[in-house]
Structure 1
Amino acid sequence: MAQTLFDQPAETVARTLIGAELEVDGVGGVIVETEAYDVFDPASHSFVGPTARNAPMFGEPGRAYVYRIYGLHWCFNVVCDAGQPGSAVLVRALEPRTGVERMRERRGPLPVEGLCSGPGKLCAALGIDGSLNGRPLDAPPFALRLHVQPPALVQGVRIGISKGAETPWRFGLAGSRFLSRPFPAVAATA
């Protein structure tokens, strides 16, 4: 995977990751939902500048930024940088394809549609936790393979945030039943 993928604006990376295959130690599937955040975004952890928590966002692109939300759930982000450190893409949902039984061991006997349909669920199912914070995405335990043919996307405003919620930087795989939440009826994007 070319490092140049991550040397682009978060919005571009968020679009590009839809349809990519993500695995952690052989467990994973197809990314179906992402959200972009950059340093100028009041909803971004980097908006306040570098801190101990958000340090990976100001580091080398192509690394994981993993953090806890509400003190309970892990969230997995891909660090990117288009000449401006502090950008990342939250991976919100994934269509399970490999290691589904391992996901169920971690999350319970759920329908496949519910295993990775949200950022905390995805991290629990894939075994992502703080030990992977700052780790490169082009080395084990990660495997990230981009799609060959760009898929049809839907786009909308981000969800689950109070600041910058109007920014239309949430992207999803059109027609996917594995999203964290449906997109409002909007036109598909390329």
Structure 2
Amino acid sequence: MKLEKDFFNRDARVVAEELLGKVLVSNYNGKILKGKIVETEAYIGEIDKASHAYGGKRTKRTEPLYGEPYTAYVYFIYGMYYCFNIITNKKDIPEGVLIRAIEPIEGINIMSNLRFGKDYSDLNKNQIKVLSNGPGKLCIAMNISKDDNYEDMNKSNKIYVENNKIDNFQIIKTKRIGIDYAEEAVDFLWRYYIKDNKYISKK
């Protein structure tokens, strides 16, 4: 069952943790791709120097952060990769959750071809491990790009999140990755992942 908008109309830290185990869905040319969300990061513009919207910064790039909850925010990094975020909390409160890693569960052969240009059965052990264990990697595998920026995921049939059966897993809370510039925010324990899942990007 598709998650409703109200699920995302909460503090990013709460949503980031509760998204673990849920299923990210992408419709690629009529084929459904699914991955269990196993790693997330929360960003809260008002107090977070790692956020693109810190200090009320509002530009064309950051405008999706100020949108309705359950809006997609996709941005480009290093001139190479996309990062996919889901906006949380109320409109005009810049908060969001970065989806850092997923565990492929449906449409895996398509994901493999999108990511490596070959079938899943032809991947080596390392390629299987790195299929979707990072924000840029999962965007390639799920065909998420700048075209999905601003997508209203509450209404969308292209990209959205489904609930999942309850799994028994332990959640690890730790520091976020790649934000060395963010002063005190470096130490915020706002990264969440499923303990021992082989698809997380970093322990």
Question: What TM-score does the superposition give when structure 1 sets the normalisation length?
Answer: 0.90
Q: Please, which runs of 5 or more residues in structure 1 have no aligned partner?
A: 183-190
Deviation of residue 32 (structure 1)? 0.2
- The count of corresponding residues between Structure 1 and Structure 2 is 182
CA offset digits 1:2-37 (Å, max 9, x no partner): 322111111001001100001111112100000000
In structure 1, the residue matched to 2:48 is 41
Residues 6-25 of structure 1: pairs in structure 2 closer than 5 A = 6-25=8-27
Q: Secondary structure of 1:180's partner?
A: coil
Q: How many angstroms does 1:107 deviate by?
A: 1.3
Compute the displacement of 1:112 (Å). 2.7
Letter in 2 for 1:137: M
Residue 70 (structure 1) aligns with: 78
Shift of 1:144: 1.0
Cα distance in 1 for partners of 2:33, 2:91 equals 32
Pair member with larger Rg = 2
Shift of 1:140: 1.2
* Aligned match of 1:126: 142
State whether residues 31 and 93 of structure 1, in contact with CA within 8 Å, keep that contact through their aligned partners in structure 2: yes
Give the alignment's Cα RMSD to 1 decimal. 1.5
Q: How far off its partner does 1:148 sit?
A: 4.0
Q: Aligned in 2, Cα 1:170/1:137: closer, same or farther, shift over 3 Å?
A: same
Are 2:70 and 1:53 aligned?
A: no
Is 1:165 the counterpart of 2:186? The answer is yes
Partner of 1:29: 35
List per-residue Cα deviations over 1:27-55 (Å, max 9, x = no partner). Answer: 12100000000112000011142110011
AA aligned opposite 1:113: K
The CA deviation string for residues 98-151 of structure 1, in whole angstroms up to 9 with x for no partner, is 111111111115433211100000101111000000102232101311234364
Q: Does 1:2 align with 2:4?
A: yes
The answer to whether 1:153 aligns with 2:171 is yes
Distance in 2, Cα, partners of 1:2 & 1:116: 25
Structure 2 gaps, min length 5: none
2-side partners of 1:129 and 1:75: how far apart?
Answer: 8
TM-score norm. by structure 2 comes to: 0.85
Corresponding position of 2:107: 99
